[in-house]
Amino acid sequence: MENQIRISNLNDFMFCPISIYFHGLYENVNPTIFQREAQLAGKSAHKSIDKDTYSTRKNILTGVEVFNSEYNIIGKMDIFDIDTGILTERKNQIKTIYDGYVFQLYAQYFCLTEMGFDVRKLRLYSLKDNKIHNIPLPDDDHNMRHKFEKLLNDMRAFNMDTFRQTNPDKCRNCIYEPMCDRSI
């Protein structure tokens, strides 16, 4: 399929589009060599989902591969409770609710609804402090849905050759900064 977008890349693209290149480049390298504590903790928060050990209940879906043809997005969803209709995206610790977090939930939502599931509630879960952050459904927040659709268009139109990072804080907080020729 043309220009398929991975759900996991949505938040990364918003942080810095170049980071997606480095994710691919270092995909098979031991992460302890270049990742910082925050990235390793985030990976640990997803371990039970990735290994499908989060729950044995039949009504709880975890780590299921999903796809949406309207937006041409693909990836894995975190946790979906079929009985309650609650879709949850887990993060190690949420200090700020970034648009990228919401957009990952939106992508999972659109995939699951296209697959015929009745998703009634979205939430982010902060593992470290055990906090739940409820997120409005895309149809209940037209501004965020528009921003989500704009992000997908921006990702499809992205040109790595002309990109220049303009936010020094993003470079300062990037695990790939030492290797990046776009760093400021």
pLDDT digits (tens, 9 = 90+) for 80-125: 999 999 999 999 999 999 999 999 999 999 999 999 999 999 999 9
Please state, in angstroms and as integers, the Cα–Cα distance from residue 24 to each residue in 17, 113, 182, following that order.
12, 29, 17
Q: Which domains does the chain have, with CATH numbers?
A: 5-179 (3.90.320.10)
User: How far, in Å, CA of 83 to CA of 55, rounded?
Assistant: 14
pLDDT higher than threshold 90 for residue 31? no
Are the beta carbons of 107 and 10 closer than 8 angstroms? yes
pLDDT higher than threshold 80 for residue 14? yes
User: How far, in Å, CA of 41 to CA of 37, rounded?
Assistant: 6
User: How far, in Å, CA of 99 to CA of 109, rounded?
Assistant: 15
pLDDT class for 49, splitting at 50, 70, 90? low
Taking Cα atoms as reference points, which of 164, 148, 54 lies closest to residue 102?
148
pLDDT class for 60, splitting at 50, 70, 90? very high
List pLDDT tens digits, range 150-160: 999 999 999 99
pLDDT for the residue 27: 73
pLDDT class for 178, splitting at 50, 70, 90? confident
Lowest mean pLDDT among 31-35, 63-67, 89-93, 138-142: 31-35
User: How far, in Å, CA of 109 to CA of 72, rounded?
Assistant: 13
User: How far, in Å, CA of 166 to CA of 55, rounded?
Assistant: 43
Residue-by-residue DSSP string for 137-163: -GGG-HHHHHHHHHHHHHHHH--TTT-
Interval 36-51 mean pLDDT: 55
